[in-house]
Amino acid sequence: MLINDIRAARAGARGVFVCALVVCPVLAAWGQEDAAKAEEPQPSTTTDPPPKAEQPQPSNQADQGAKTAEPRPSTVDQAPKAAQPRQTAAKEHQSPDTEVIGHYETGVGTTDSASAGTVTYRRIDSTPQLRPGEVLQLVPGMAVTQHSGDGKANQYFLRGYNLDHGTDFAIWVDGMPVNLPTHGHGQGYADINFMIPELIQGMDFVKGPYYASEGDFSTVGAAHIRYWDVLPENIALATIGTDNYWRALAAASPKLGEGHLTIAAEAKGYDGPWVVPQELEAYKGVLRYAQGDTANGFSVGLMGYKATWNSTDQIPQYAVDNGYIPRFGAIDPTDGGETERYSLNFNGRKMFGNAQAAVDAYIIRYKLDLWSNFTYFLDNPVQGDQFQQSDDRTVYGIIPTFTWGNKLGKADMVNTIGLQARYDDISKVALYSTQGRQIWDTTREDSVKQLSVGLYAQNASQWNSWFRTLLGLRYDDYHFDVNSSVPENSGTKDASIWSPKASLIFGPWYKTEYFINGGYGFHSNDARGTTITVEPKDPTVPVPSVDPLVRTKGGELGLRTEIIPNLQSSLALWTLTQDSELLFVGDAGTTEPSRPSRRQGIEWINYYRPLPWLFIDAELALTKARFSDDDPAGDYIPGAPNAVATLAVTVENIRKWFGMFQVRYIGERPLIEDNSVRADSSTITNARIGYAFTPKIRLQLDVFNLFNVATNDISYYYESFVPGVIPAPENAVHFHPAESRQFRLTFVYNF
């Protein structure tokens, strides 16, 4: 039945988009008579739109500068959804008269570590975003870039990790995992281009392996993106911009029966500043029915996404220096990709006295074909080094949890047990040699069945007015079954791992609380690496297999204070160690065990609201990343930035004007273990200015790379060869430039 639904959805996101453009206004008008009366909302970029009738208020909301009371232990009716990380001993504490929607929910008593919190829709709506993935850049300390076409997953940086496309940061959207294990392009590949930012109610984030509900890919942290059950306002918008950028969106939440049906559709295109036009085309559709509230309710969602694009991958510095190509040029003009993703998911919760049962279930249909050429003519001087990575899979998952409250003496407790089961049925994960996107050789082609089951238990206790704890234990079990085109590399493998967690929270005293967090985590390796025995390109060469699961450990000391009026400030000192950064090298079809590592750092986060219409968000993250063994090659970790900083100033509702000015800085980073080659730092400034003609109509102009700085999104150092440009292969810096200044003008109509 679910399979049939997914196949029906594959009739195309393009069709959903066209249909929704017509249906959204009709459904909105049809449901208007039944909708509860509410005040006329203001534009979301300038004021707080009130939620529609029957829309549950988000929990744990803390406005910048809002007065906070002493936190109390959680009760079951305030327990978060099963797949979300906010299962804490903290409790919402604002009075009914407190304005609760700021940019971040990070007040005293709202989380169990200094580095956790929630990004509100208000921050998301007010921030210019070059790409959908930049929503994650609102996680403090996170930097998001791109080294290829905009249809590909972004490049993520956090806590001294070059996370590539998601290796150690877990991403969830509406209760569904985004990271894909045993992926054709890289382990943990996380593409969130299917997401529609205007549908986001909030984004919960945590960092470190301190939470029992977080499993694979979450060593550095996790983000859970929540969609609205009911949109605060229906919306239609159109955007035009530089380099043939265009985007159209329509979304509405009419009342239907006892709940609301959200229908949304988006289409966009973009060529970019590249010599080879990107020709991006992307189509998205969402149908989502929600009923009830956070205590008793459910939602059912259907999503569709399809995109095609050309990509200008990283290029060699030597080819630019000698004038062979410009900064926005390409060596192989046939690189690019196409992808599609369709999903059906269910989220439900039910109260039973002082207990709550919840379940998330999902099925995801995913496909990617990606053509890349990073070394040009190094391996094959005649046909070139282009390769195709293919991934075709269906993912099934279910996440039941049960939460209940009890007392131990005078201590109030909230207990949670949960199961996270996931099955990836990968019909094809393959690597081919290609020329102009035409296959001429197969490196390897595999089918993989991968099952993971995680069990966890967590206890949150408020022992007295100034001390609470969060204790957890997690067990994960994996089964890998690989059927390879290279028979010697077929086989099965099983692995399991235990991960204890603990957090101690003290205070508040003088509006300040203190945190001690620690825990064990893990990172799974590509299934193909666990059964490999020979080199795929040359079966006569033996290759050692790798352990399926890699142990990670982390700890953190932190504090959070609101002692200064209208300012929320957090400070965290952290450390992370990894036994071995084992990776499957998707570009070569083989495995390569790397070295153990240690990362240490400090994060200082400040959210200040000196005036009702002025927000100042300032974040600074400093990191030291090193390999922890002895090796003559050196101990620097390539690609690990030493600093990430963000400063954002937002102005709201000044005689109908609104705007934002944001600066993001990524520090220098080594490109080779001995630190002899380094990437320069990068500073990008974005800005927005807008005017609300009426409470329903506004116009806004976004400017990306405001000062048109010639900087790079990503840099690498490796060997390549372009005949006629250099006489012989050489190791060189390869970079992908940040896009030049972009203007985008958006007309928004709320109805």
Q: Is the peptide bond before 727 cis (omega within 30 degrees of 0)?
A: no
The amino acid sitting at 673 is E
Listed residue (486, 483, 484, 594) closest to 546, CA to CA = 594
- Digit-coded pLDDT (tens) for 72-124: 333 333 333 333 333 344 443 333 333 445 899 999 999 999 999 999 999 99
Residue 165 banded pLDDT, cuts 50, 70, 90: confident
Q: How many helices (H) and strands (E) does the chain have?
A: 5, 41
Task: Write phi, then psi, for 2 (nearest 5 degrees).
Answer: -65, -40
**pLDDT score of 193:** 97
- Per the CB < 8 A criterion, the answer to whether 310 and 149 are in contact is yes
Question: Helix, strand, or coil here: 690?
Answer: strand
Cα separations (Å) of 188 from 160, 164, 639? 17, 9, 18
Q: What is the reported pTM?
A: 0.88
Residue 581 banded pLDDT, cuts 50, 70, 90: low
**pLDDT score of 438:** 97
**pLDDT score of 605:** 97
- Average of per-residue pLDDT values in the chain: 87
- Digit-coded pLDDT (tens) for 701-740: 999 999 999 999 999 999 999 999 999 999 999 999 999 9
Mean pLDDT of 177-203: 95
Share of the chain above pLDDT 90, in %: 82
- Digit-coded pLDDT (tens) for 10-63: 444 334 333 333 333 333 333 333 333 333 333 343 334 433 333 333 333 333
CATH number at residue 111: 2.40.170.20
How far is CA 658 from its chain centroid?
27
Residue indicated by tokens 């996680």: 139
Q: Which sign does the torsion angle of CA 309, 314, 320, 322 carry?
A: negative
Q: What is the DSSP string of 207-241?
A: ESS--TT--TT-SSEEEEEEE-SS-SS-EEEEEEE
In terms of residue numbers, what domain contains 425?
A: 2-750
Count the domains in the chain: 1
Structure tokens given for 540: 């006569």
**pLDDT score of 582:** 54
Q: What is the DSSP string of 125-182?
A: HHS--SSGGGGGGGSTT-EEE-SS-TTSPPEEEETTEE-TTTTTEEEEETTEE--BSS
Contacts of 521 (CB under 8 A, 6+ apart): 209, 214, 218, 219, 499, 551, 552, 553, 554
Structure tokens given for 470: 């969060």
Question: Helix, strand, or coil here: 470?
Answer: strand
What does the alpha-carbon distance between residue 732 and residue 681 come to, in Å, rounded to a whole number? 18
- Digit-coded pLDDT (tens) for 369-381: 999 999 999 999 9
Structure tokens given for 38: 């509410």
- Digit-coded pLDDT (tens) for 470-518: 999 999 999 999 999 999 999 999 999 999 999 999 999 999 999 999 9
Residue 295 has pLDDT above 60, yes or no: yes
What does the alpha-carbon distance between residue 179 and residue 188 come to, in Å, rounded to a whole number? 5
- Digit-coded pLDDT (tens) for 303-360: 999 999 999 999 999 999 999 999 999 999 999 999 999 999 999 999 999 999 999 9
What is the DSSP code (8-state) at residue 325?
A: S
More confident residue, 174 or 5: 174
What ranges make up the beta strands (E) of 525-566?
534-535, 538-542, 549-561
Residue 147 has pLDDT above 90, yes or no: no
Share of the chain above pLDDT 70, in %: 85
What does the alpha-carbon distance between residue 363 and residue 352 come to, in Å, rounded to a whole number? 28
Length of the chain in terms of residues written? 751
- Digit-coded pLDDT (tens) for 519-556: 999 999 999 999 999 999 899 999 999 899 999 999 99
Of 38-47, 155-164, 564-573, 613-622, the poorest mean pLDDT is in 38-47
Radius of gyration of the chain (CA): 25
Residue 594 banded pLDDT, cuts 50, 70, 90: confident
Cβ–Cβ contacts within 10 Å for residue 381, how many? 12
What ranges make up the beta strands (E) of 211-354?
221-227, 235-241, 245-252, 255-256, 259-270, 280-292, 297-310, 315-316, 336-352
**pLDDT score of 497:** 98
**pLDDT score of 101:** 58
